[in-house]
Amino acid sequence: MKKIFYLLLLFSIAVTGQETISKELTYNEFLGYVKKFHPLVKNAQLTLNKAQTNLMMARGAFDPKIEVDYAQKQFKDKEYYSLLNSSFKIPTWYGIEIKGGFENNDGYYLNPEHTTPEQGLASLEISVPVGQGLWINKRMADLSMAKMQIKLSESEVKLQAVAVLYDASLAYFNWKKNYEEVQLYEKYSENAKIRFTGIKTSIKQGDKPAVDSSEAGINVKNRLLSLEDSKLKLTKAKLELSNFLWLDNTIPMEISDDLIPETQLEITIQETLKTNNLTAEPTSIDNHPKINAMQSKIDILNVERKLSANELLPKINLGYSLLSEPKYYDEYNTDNYKLGVDLSFPLFLRKERGKLKLTKFKIQEAEYSIGLERLQLSNKIQAQKIEIESLNKQLVLVKDLAKDNLTMLNSEERLFSFGESSLFLINTRENNLVSAKLSLISLTNRYFISNSELFKIMANPD
């Protein structure tokens, strides 16, 4: 399927003695290629990949760590000191750290504080923050926010993908609109030429006045002028549409003359965009990507608020180490230990209180914004539904109008054949018919755009 599509888009195959067979590029097929291969859609996916990478980095703060510190000094055949300090540290969720260590120090000028038994000194240490950092700390906050960032990125990916699909849809609708206008002008330009030839024959036979030739010629020129202008618009529309057509490995494609837009798009568009049920049923925005994105931002700010509130507490870290020579470690002699307490507390807490207030203000601002966004989304959806319903009614009227104008033109042509009408009246009837059909093409295009706008508002590219 992909190879056939690729060949049709990239090459216009001209076979001598054979007619070119046109192939429809359906709207659903077109959107499928945009979703899968467009660079901006791929870039949106990178946003999610980066968020997942940030989550992996945040989890790295809880990785166990091995540390080895060794230092030795030798001078004039005398060992001043030899210091070995190794440890294995395990961080836990609630800021508690467990650490196993081993020291083995020796030397002539060794600091008495560093003296260890001959076989070294083993330790098992636990460090507990009983104030700031127990229930939440930077490490815990970073991991929580990284998980929320993934949800935020998933929503942003949908919003970015929908924006690309919407722009691509407008380009497709414009291509279809200009293609149908070219088809219309080609048909009625040919009619004008046939009529012009018939008028010249009637003039030679003396059945029609010579002035009819000038009027028929003017009509031909007007039709050809409109046709040429519509062809120019179609060429530009094809180039615009080609901006959204890519293959794997970022290979750009171009629309060939062999491809035509979908003829039954008016019937299939709502099913393709999944707006058929939206126009008939009440629509919920609780799971809307934009609402989810804004809620994720609020959740991230709430984590920041908790972290800022935690910084108002004093820093109190308790550390206890059980010490033993390696060969006696299984006896658990609690008389050998090391105990430590670290305490720090700013007197005024102006920085911490200011940071907490600022975070609360940001949360309030975000909550006001999400409330406003909910209302705006609901109103936009309702307005779009009303517009689609109105356009459906207008389409029925314009189709009837075009049909009635065609009936009037056929009647005028019959009268003209009996000599009871004039070329001026036929041209007038035909102009009215062309205008009605152009209005139908334009209104149908508005109907397509209206459905795509509802699709964009709902932001569900799946």
pLDDT tens per residue across span 26-38 = 999 999 989 888 8
The answer to whether residue 13 scores a pLDDT higher than 80 is: no
Residue 42 pLDDT level (bands cut at 50, 70, 90) = confident
Nearby residues of 40 by Cβ (< 8 Å), 6 or more positions away: 160, 164
* 254-311 pLDDT, tens digit each: 888 888 999 999 999 999 998 887 766 677 888 899 999 999 999 999 999 999 999 8
Pure H helices in 274-420:
289-310, 350-417
Pure H helices in 38-137:
39-59
The answer to whether residue 328 scores a pLDDT higher than 60 is: no
The answer to whether residue 107 scores a pLDDT higher than 70 is: yes
Q: CA nearest 156: which of 273, 272, 49?
A: 49
Q: Minimum mean pLDDT among 55-59, 177-181, 210-214, 254-258: which range?
A: 210-214
Other beta carbons within 10 Å of 458: 22
- Stretch 133-148: mean pLDDT: 89
CB 107 within 8 Å of CB 73: yes
Q: CA nearest 84: which of 66, 102, 108?
A: 102
* 212-257 pLDDT, tens digit each: 778 788 888 998 999 999 999 999 999 999 999 888 777 888 888 8
* 307-323 pLDDT, tens digit each: 999 989 998 999 998 88
Structural domains present in the chain: 2-37+140-299+361-458 (1.20.1600.10), 66-92+96-132+317-348 (no CATH)
Residue 207 has a pLDDT of 67
For residue 341, what is the DSSP state? E
User: How far apart are the C-alpha atoms of 280 and 46, rounded to whole Å?
Assistant: 36
The answer to whether residue 393 scores a pLDDT higher than 80 is: yes
What b/e readout covers 242-270, taking b as 16+ CB neighbours within 10 angstroms? bebbbbeeeeebebbebbbbbeebeeebb
Residue 247 has a pLDDT of 81
Q: What is the pTM of this model?
A: 0.83
Q: Which two tokens stand for residue 426?
A: 């036929």
